[in-house]
A = this chain, B = another copy of it.
Amino acid sequence: MTTEVKQSPRERLLEAAATLTYRDGVGIGVEALCKAAGVSKRSMYQLFESKDELLAASLERRTSAYVATLLPAADDDRSPRERILHVFEQVESESGAPEFYGCPFLAAQIELKDQSHPASRVAHGVKENLTAFFRAEAEQGGASDPGLLARQLSLVFDGGSARAGIGADQLTGLIAPTVITLLDAAGVR
């Protein structure tokens, strides 16, 4: 079998960037990234324009796996209410993992500050997609104000992941009751 057991340098770089920037912040050095990936700086700089582009590509790559983990499957035939709750069950269970620091996209935006940074733009798009998902479900579920509910859910999502990430609180017993209260108030049964 000629199955690719070993990832390409490009993939190893993207994965190392995802892991290390999540754990240590976007201030991590290029040298450390390359060493972790087992790739020379020379190779890195002919695969990516700059460190900033590597970070952006790394976040971009995380996107599909991230939404796949959080969102219910496309053929999921549960109610909108249950599909929304599914997202928060996922983040609650993820938050129990030993190395959980909250949503990596939110963290990247806060650390970078600059909203025009390529990685910030990617993260911004992810956030918009999540809010759009909430909004679609809210509409389907007959929410009194779907736009408001979607924003509220995103608010709880980011707040919860941020607070869990800095060790300010546990999501257990907090996030589900909160979401249910908001769903009830919006008339989504």
> Which A positions have Cβ atoms within 8 angstroms of B?
23-25, 27, 101-102, 106-107, 109-111, 113, 115, 120, 124, 127, 148, 151-152, 154-160, 162-163, 165-169, 173-175, 177-178, 181-182, 184-185
Q: Would B148 and A155 count as touching, CB distance under 8 A?
A: no
* Smallest Cβ-Cβ distance to A145: which chain B residue: B177
Question: Which of these, B148, B156, B159, B185, contacts A185 with CB under 8 Å?
Answer: B185
Known: A111-B110, A165-B110, A181-B182. Is A155-B151 also a contact (CB below 8 A)?
no
**In the complex this chain forms, how many copies of it are found?**
2
Task: Give Cα A175–Cα B110 distance, bound, in whole angstroms.
Answer: 20
Which 8 residue pairs are nearest across A and B when measured between Cβ atoms? A159-B159, A109-B166, A155-B159, A181-B185, A158-B159, A110-B110, A152-B178, A151-B174
